[in-house]
């Protein structure tokens, strides 16, 4: 995708061929800057502080974190230590842990002198696969949007509600939930996106709105609790969100507040779709939504808001009274029964073990359990 007309990915190799450049997403939308990461500790800090965020991008960043660690020390102990360091940064996103396991397994099977080159090859493959996957999600999702648009009156846009940022800034490129939107917009299908601000970090108003604006997609930023009202008044045709972890039975862990949107959509007979790469499916979790670890982030994210003041300076403002306790749950789980369909790189399916098994039969054993 583009920023000010210039093509970017969210992560790419520095011109020196080994360090890693990323967009500093904590500065958006008011300032665009990039950061160069030189070590696995730099990568861990970038993930933990949400300089990079979004399940697919976190996985790609972790892969390059291993690359940087192998340049310093390609031993088994270094590899294991780096994987432990990175795994502790964000517990909910399954891409992180799958990438670390896959990278560790692959690198343990090659000699130490081969590990640096092998690691960079694997990390680059992860990025290219992510882009192809998201483009495919966009194509399948576009068909969903196109069919829904046929029910609209002439000369009216298809109104989509999205929550948080499942855009290209959360992936290497294209995004998951935004990929169908970009495909529709590029094809000339009239759409309008309602963008939840997504407190407390405001990934919707800061990131989703930013990237939609850069691509020219009509959108409106709304407060998090406005969605139900808009649904009741016929202003929303569908909800389309992403996911950080999906169970083998179709339950979805996404940014806090997603569950409430799904409940409101169900009550108003509005379809609720989730766009996801198969890399975010945790095949080890089947029935119990409580098995998904829910990250609790710093209380300061609730206590303060950041933005640009009247003089154009970036500022951090306290909004809670001194002495008030705060809690900051980063994700919630939306049960499969509230979801209309899962849009993946292999097509759309119902949110169920049977539906996912149909698209991804390689994850089903002979006794019909997922693996």
Q: Tokens 């609720």, residue?
A: 272
User: In whole angstroms, what is the distance from residue 288 CA to residue 281 CA?
Assistant: 14
d(CA 104, CA 106): 6
Note whether 82 and 40 are within 8 A (CB): yes
- Are the C-beta atoms of residues 254 and 94 closer than 8 Å to each other? no
What separation in angstroms does the CA of 348 have from each of 175, 186, 233? 16, 21, 28
Instruction: Please choose, from the candidates 257, 235, 243, the residue with its C-alpha nearest in 3D space to the C-alpha of residue 285.
Output: 243
Nearest to 9 by CA among 19, 29, 23: 23
Cross-strand partners of 253: 245, 333
Whole-number Å distance between alpha carbons of 181 and 171 = 15
Residue 353, exposed/middle/buried by CB under 10 A (0-12, 13-18, 19+)?
Answer: buried
256 to each of 112, 120, 297, how far by Cα in Å? 42, 34, 12
**CA-angle at 237, arms to 234 and 239, nearest 5°:** 120
Among residues 196, 224, 244, 251, which one is catalytic? Answer: 244
Q: What is the 3-state secondary structure (H, E, C) of 68-137?
A: HHHHHCCCHHHHHHHHHHHHCCCCCCHHHHHHHHHHHHHHHCCCHHHHHHHHHHHHHHHHHHHHHHHHHH
Centroid of chain to Cα 247: 16
> What is the rounded distance in angstroms from the CA atom of residue 275 to the CA atom of residue 243?
7
Tell me if residue 173 is catalytic.
no
Catalytic annotation, residues: 244
């Amino acid at each position: 995708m583009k920023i000010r007309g210039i093509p970017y990915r969210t992560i790419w190799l520095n011109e020196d061929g080994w360090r890693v450049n990323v967009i500093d997403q904590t500065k958006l939308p008011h300032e665009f800057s990039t950061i160069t990461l030189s070590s696995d500790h730099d990568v861990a800090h970038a993930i933990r502080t949400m300089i990079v965020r979004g399940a697919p991008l976190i996985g790609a960043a972790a892969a390059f974190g291993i690359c940087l660690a192998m340049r310093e020390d390609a031993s088994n102990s270094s590899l294991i230590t780096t994987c432990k360091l990175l795994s502790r940064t964000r517990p909910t996103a399954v891409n992180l842990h799958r990438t670390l396991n896959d990278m560790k397994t692959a690198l343990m099977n090659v000699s130490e002198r081969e590990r640096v080159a092998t690691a960079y090859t694997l990390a680059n493959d992860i990025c290219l696969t992510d882009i192809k996957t998201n483009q495919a999600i966009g194509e399948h999702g576009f068909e969903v949007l196109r069919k829904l648009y046929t029910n609209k009156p002439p000369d009216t846009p298809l109104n989509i509600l999205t929550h948080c940022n499942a855009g290209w800034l959360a992936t290497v490129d294209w995004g998951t939930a935004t990929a169908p939107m970009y495909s529709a917009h590029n094809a000339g299908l009239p759409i309008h996106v309602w963008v939840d601000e997504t407190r407390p970090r405001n990934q919707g108003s800061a990131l989703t709105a930013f990237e939609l604006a850069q691509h020219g997609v009509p959108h409106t930023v709304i407060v998090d609790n406005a969605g139900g009202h808009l649904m009741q008044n016929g202003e929303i045709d569908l909800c389309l969100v992403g996911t950080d972890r999906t169970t083998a039975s179709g339950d979805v862990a996404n940014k806090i507040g997603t569950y409430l949107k799904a409940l409101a959509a169900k009550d108003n007979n509005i379809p609720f779709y989730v766009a996801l790469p198969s890399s975010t499916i945790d095949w080890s979790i089947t029935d119990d939504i409580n098995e998904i670890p829910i990250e609790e982030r710093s209380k300061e994210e609730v206590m303060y808001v950041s933005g640009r003041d009247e003089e154009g300076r970036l500022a951090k403002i306290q909004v809670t009274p001194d002495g008030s306790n705060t809690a900051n749950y980063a994700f919630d789980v939306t049960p499969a029964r509230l979801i209309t369909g899962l849009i993946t790189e292999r097509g759309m399916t119902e949110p169920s073990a049977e539906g996912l098994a149909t698209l991804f039969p390689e994850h089903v054993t002979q006794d019909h359990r997922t693996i």
